[in-house]
Amino acid sequence: MQYDDFLEQVAECTGLNRAYGDRAIVAVLETLSERIGSKDAGDLAAQLPRQLRGAVAEAPDEPVRFPADDFVRKVAAREWIPAREARVHTRVVLRTLREVASDGLGDLLASLPADYHSLWSEYRPANGRPVNGGPVVR
C-alpha cells in the first residue's frame, strides 16, 4: 500500500484536504492500536506505509477493551472534531484499510465485537459515492 494512494482515497471519501486526511488516518490508527494491543499493532504496522507506522507504535501491551461508540469518541478527541464527523472518518479509514491490506487485517477487524462491524460499512457522505465501489448511499 502506498501512502499517497491511501491518503488520496481517504481524503476523497471524506472531503478532507491532505493534511486533515492524514490527521484522520492517524487518529483512527492510534485508536485501533490501543484497541488491539501491541502484538496485533505490530502486525498492522508491517502492512502500513512507513509514514503511518508511528501511529501504531505506542500500542499498549494488552488490548484495551471498549465499545465501538467509545472508539469513535476517542477518534473525535484525537482529531478535535464532533463524534458524528469522527464516525465518518473512522468508517472510511477502516474500510480503506480493509480493502487494501492483507486478509490478516480483515480477520483482525472481523474478530472485534459485533458493534464494530458498522464502522467499516459502505458510506461516503462527502460526495455520495460509496467507498471502494459499493452501492451509493444517499
Question: Residue 137: pLDDT band by 50, 70, 90 thresholds?
Answer: very low
Determine the pLDDT at residue 101.
73
DSSP string over 10-55: HHHHHT--HHHHHHHHHHHHHHHHHHHHHHHHHHHHHHS-GGGGGG
pTM of the model: 0.85
What is the residue whose three cell numbers read 465518518? 88
Q: Which domains does the chain have, with CATH numbers?
A: 3-126 (1.10.490.110)
Using the predicted structure, report yes or no on whether residue 132 has a pLDDT greater than 50.
no
Report how far residue 54's alpha carbon sits from residue 26's, in angstroms, rounded to the nearest whole number: 9
Report how far residue 107's alpha carbon sits from residue 129's, in angstroms, rounded to the nearest whole number: 26
Using the predicted structure, report yes or no on whether residue 93 has a pLDDT greater than 60.
yes
Contact 41, 53 (CB under 8 A): no
pLDDT digit string, tens, across residues 32-64: 999 999 999 998 998 899 999 999 999 999 999
Determine the pLDDT at residue 128.
53
Report how far residue 49's alpha carbon sits from residue 13's, in angstroms, rounded to the nearest whole number: 19
